[in-house]
Amino acid sequence: MNLTRLSSGGCVEQSAARGYAGLRLAEPLGTVRRNSPGRRILNAVALVALVFWLAAPRVRAQSTTSVRGTVTDPSGSAVVGATVDLTNPESKTERIVTTGAQGEYQFLFLPPGTYKLSISAPGFAKYEQTSLELLVNTPTTSNVQMKLGGTAQSVTVTSEAAATFRSC
């Protein structure tokens, strides 16, 4: 038996059930039904907002840089097990790695800034490069050829910014 009822909102509702047990009450004006176009738009906007919110830390994380290189001896052979120390005096951060089997090292996901690169290995003079400028999203390569010497000797290299010339 189909029952038809006029609700207080002026909507006509039908039910296939007996009595009023199967009747849905009319929704008040201004509510959004489950499958209505307004509900779909609201869900799409919420989904886009969620994606942007989740992606925000990744976008901020892209403002990093890296430095890598190879450490060799005067003959060009790899120096295995050299200690490579990268220090940022401004932020007082320090990272230390050991060169690999090919004499390679790398520092990833570094904040941009001015760093000091120090390399030491037994039987070689300590190497220092000050004012190593690391720029955003610009990987830097710093290959180092160690000099033979004792631990008391050191070689210091100071990096300077390239001169810029303008013509009028």
4-27 per-position pLDDT tens digit:
555 555 555 554 444 555 555 555
Q: What does the block give as tokens for 152?
A: 């008391």
The structure tokens listed for 60 are 């901020």
By the 8 A CB rule, do 148 and 73 touch? yes
- What does the pLDDT read at residue 17? 47
User: Which uninterrupted H or E stretch holds 60?
Assistant: helix 37-61
**Which DSSP symbol is given to 164?**
-
User: What topology is assigned to 65-158 in CATH?
Assistant: Immunoglobulin-like (2.60.40)
What pLDDT sits at residue 48?
Answer: 84
Tens of pLDDT along the chain (168 residues) come to 454 555 555 555 554 444 555 555 555 655 555 667 777 888 888 888 888 778 766 555 568 999 999 999 999 999 999 999 999 999 999 999 999 999 999 999 999 999 999 999 999 999 999 999 999 999 999 999 999 986 555 666 665 544 333 444
pLDDT (0 to 100) of residue 168:
41
Q: What is the pLDDT of residue 41?
A: 85
Contact 84, 55 (CB under 8 A): no
What local confidence, expressed as pLDDT, does residue 58 receive? 57
Instruction: Give the model's pLDDT for residue 20.
Output: 53
Residue 167: CB atoms within 10 A of its CB come to 3
Contacts of 101 (CB under 8 A, 6+ apart): 78, 80
What pLDDT is stored for residue 103 in this prediction? 98
C-alpha to C-alpha distance for 57 and 46, rounded to whole angstroms: 18
